[in-house]
Amino acid sequence: MGTNETVTYVPMIRDLAEEDRPRERLMRVGAQAVSTAELLAIILRTGVGGENVLRLAERLLSTFRDLPGLAQASLAELTEVKGVGPAKAVEIKAALEIGRRLMASAPQEKLRVTSPADAANLLMSEMMFLEQEHLRLILLDTRNGVLGTPTIYVGSLNTSVIRIGELFRAAIKANAAAFIVVHNHPSGDPSPSPEDVHVTRQIVQAGKLLDIMLLDHIVIGQQRYVSLKERGLGFEA
């Protein structure tokens, strides 16, 4: 090893403070309060090659663009990810299938979103610690029941990247009556940027033409959120 070579130390789960370990955090704060990556890490149990299992979980979610992509991935596709062998792949598919069957067995329990707080709480635990910007939709039926929360974009979001048609394509495919846009600020500060306001205004105008209403645009920070609708930003009459 050369004298100028730098080694990056990635702590293993056992090296983390006990209160920061996914399993212990779930026991302390409850399943709903931990992130998707932490839940996946609990299923995976161990990482590989010096990478802790939480980083492996985050890498899986990034590779397959969050849970919907992970659910659609085949066993072969999962095992192409470094650190995921056949046993881990089967455990992931089994856990996701249990969730799918639970949703199918209780359609009357469909989540409803009736306020900005409902929208923020639905996705905050999954989005507030993401290291990249993610843009997701909360697709709603005529009674504000949640039809899905697909991820549309991952990466640096700006008006040149976001194509309004992609948002409405997802809404039309789900036969949604309305939707809410949700994106995160990795800085932890949910203050809307001028581009956030500009793209909101564009979506509102397109929604009027397509008769699919944008109900709100929520920006997620760390333990905080901002509703552009509540602030009157981009929703001017």
**pLDDT at residue 111, rounded to an integer:** 84
C-alpha to C-alpha distance for 59 and 82, rounded to whole angstroms: 10
Within a domain: 196: yes
**pLDDT at residue 167, rounded to an integer:** 92
C-alpha to C-alpha distance for 114 and 218, rounded to whole angstroms: 13
pLDDT by residue (tens digit) across 93-137?
Answer: 999 888 877 766 655 556 889 999 999 988 988 888 788 899 999
**pLDDT at residue 103, rounded to an integer:** 65
C-alpha to C-alpha distance for 172 and 90, rounded to whole angstroms: 33
* Residues facing residue 48 across a β-bridge: 51
**pLDDT at residue 19, rounded to an integer:** 58
> Does residue 188 sit in the same domain as residue 121?
yes
**Domain span including residue 18:** 13-107
Last-in-domain residue among 69, 87, 107: 107
Residues constituting the chain: 237
Q: Of 43, 220, 16, 7, which is closest to residue 134 (Cα–Cα)?
A: 220
Which parts of the chain register pLDDT below 70?
1-20, 47, 49-50, 103-110, 157-161, 237
Structure tokens at 106: 């209780």
Within a domain: 146: yes
**pLDDT at residue 129, rounded to an integer:** 79
CATH number, domain containing residue 43: 1.10.150.20
What is the per-residue DSSP string for 150-216? -EEEESS--TTT--HHHHHHHHHHTT-SEEEEEEE-TTS--PPPHHHHHHHHHHHHHHHHHT-EEEE
> Does residue 37 sit in the same domain as residue 88?
yes
